[in-house]
Amino acid sequence: MSASSQQNYLHIKYISADMCDWFMQTSSTDKFKRYEMCISDTRQLFTSDVLLFVSLSDLLKQKSQEPIIIPKERDAPDLTELLQKSAVEHLTTFRQIEARDFGSVRTIATTDFEALYAYKRGDYQQCLQLSLQNVHTLLDGDGMADIQTLPEFIQLFDDDIVSLIALTLIVNPSSRYFVISQVTLTLYLITQCQLKLRHSVTSQALTLDYIEVAQRSHPAVRTLDHLTLKLIERKLTANISTLMV
């Protein structure tokens, strides 16, 4: 979120905190108009900036006793997508800070959530491009960065990953969640994108080599990693066999 959006949001929120006539004073409406101009003049907005602006606009309508517009059902997916995009922007910022502060200890790819979000949107070419950049960084680096399979992240994963997480929890129900390494998730995304984009046998065979390296680098206790790596290994092997016939 930009600093100007934060400042304008907090100012208007403070002015409108009292439910009485304060909100109807011109100071709040004038401030909102300046905020609107600021938003219009900003070249690059974060998703959270847009969400804040929309929420403040709705707040002004409600406090001025205008009829409250109930969002239509078809608007819900758009709002969900905006919220997911905002979350990915913040997670990417977190990765950048993590890489800055702990990059000397372990190798951290900063665009893993962007790649995951691109895959969810069906932008397989963008996902593949980001993932191929990441896999070279991660396999050649030191240490191992993880992604937590928290319930909040489940909506970003596809059915195969969710099924593997569920299977892992069935085997070990005492654990609330598991982690999957950036390397494993990156290789999973590469595999899925290559299959969907119908890449050549050569590129798929190269991914198999990456998977073999990743399998050796993960300890046996990393159950979810090994299940995922075994799954994509079998997918690629079966597809290559089909293409070779």
With a pLDDT cut of 90, the percent of the chain lying above it is 41
Of 12, 40, 63, the one marking the end of a domain is 63
The answer to whether residue 86 is domain-embedded is: no
Phi, psi torsion values for 197, nearest 5 degrees: -90, 0
- Based on the fold, state whether residues 49 and 142 are members of the same structural domain: no
How confident is the model over 65-93, as a mean pLDDT?
A: 69
When pLDDT is cut at 50, 70 and 90, the band that residue 4 belongs to is low
The answer to whether residue 73 is domain-embedded is: no
The two tokens of residue 193 are 């994108």
Model's pTM, two decimal places? 0.70
Tell me the residue type at 155: Q
The two tokens of residue 13 are 């929120």
Say which residue the tokens 């198999």 belong to: 208
Q: At residue 194, does pLDDT exceed 90?
A: yes
Phi, psi torsion values for 125, nearest 5 degrees: -65, -45
Q: At residue 18, does pLDDT exceed 50?
A: no
- Based on the fold, state whether residues 112 and 57 are members of the same structural domain: no
The answer to whether residue 181 is domain-embedded is: yes
The answer to whether residue 92 is domain-embedded is: no
When pLDDT is cut at 50, 70 and 90, the band that residue 26 belongs to is very low
Angstrom distances, CA of residue 188 to CA of 12, 182, 194: 45, 10, 10
When pLDDT is cut at 50, 70 and 90, the band that residue 231 belongs to is very high
Tell me the residue type at 74: R
The answer to whether residue 90 is domain-embedded is: no
Total domains present in the chain: 2
Average pLDDT for the chain: 80
The number of CA neighbours under 13 Å toward the Cβ of 208 is 16
Which residues, at least 6 apart from 223, have a Cβ–Cβ distance to it below 8 Å?
168, 171, 172, 178
- State which residues form the domain around 192: 105-244
The mean-pLDDT minimum among 13-27, 78-92, 133-147, 155-169 falls in 13-27
